[in-house]
Amino acid sequence: METSEFFNRKAVNLDLTSKCTLACIYCGRAELKNIPSYYMTEKEFDCYLNFFHYFTFCGQISDPIMHPKLPLFLNKVYKAGKGSGVHVAASHKPKSFFIECFKANPDALWCFGIDGLPQDSHKYRVRQDGMKLFNIMVESAKYLRQKPIWQYIIFDYNENDIEEALRLSNLHKVEFKLIMSSRWDKNNYLKPQVNDYSLLNERDIL
């Protein structure tokens, strides 16, 4: 990307905080120590709101749901007539907080990282309550104007459950997004054995 294109871009991804309650095995947090405590302030967010037209809340070392002012930020985007997407995997906020976020901006596109059937997702998303987050994802459809997305990264423990996950997503009218990861260490821990996932049309590399 040329310098002019970079500074004229209309979309931005924001890491709102440094907090996450999960310990995902291949997350960047696993290699970092003594992460400084940080929460984006309302004043800082307003600076971004003035310049960008689409906001993705997808933490690189955090989860956006951990920011106490996420409903406020989403509502600001909504009132400004701008677009937004939220990527979450942490499940430790109460259901009422998620619903507050959904109501604050019904136009936002939500993506839920649940890697495997809900009861198994904690095998990678360590400390995630997959059943709780799955139920919140299903509940979100009552408040959002866009279908929520179930993001499913393929690992060895869930590669044989894709058809069942697809059935569940169709049953609950949730968009299913299959992700093929490339984040493997020298031991290939959790790496799936099969490479052909022609079952689905969309294939992404994370």
Residues of the chain with pLDDT under 50: 200-206
Run of H or E residues at 51: helix 42-51
Residue 121: both structure tokens together: 């997702």
Q: Domains in the chain, start-ordered, CATH in brackets?
A: 3-151 (3.20.20.70)
- Partner residues linked to 150 by β-bridges: 112, 176
Q: Which residues contact 19 (CB under 8 A, 6 or more apart)?
A: 37, 39, 62, 63, 66, 67
Task: Specify the pLDDT at position 204.
Answer: 45
pTM of the shown model: 0.90
Task: Specify the pLDDT at position 73.
Answer: 98
Q: How many residues does the chain have?
A: 206
Q: Give me the residue label for tokens 């007539």.
A: 81
What are the pLDDT digits (tens) for 30-77?
778 788 899 999 999 999 999 999 999 998 899 999 999 999 999 999
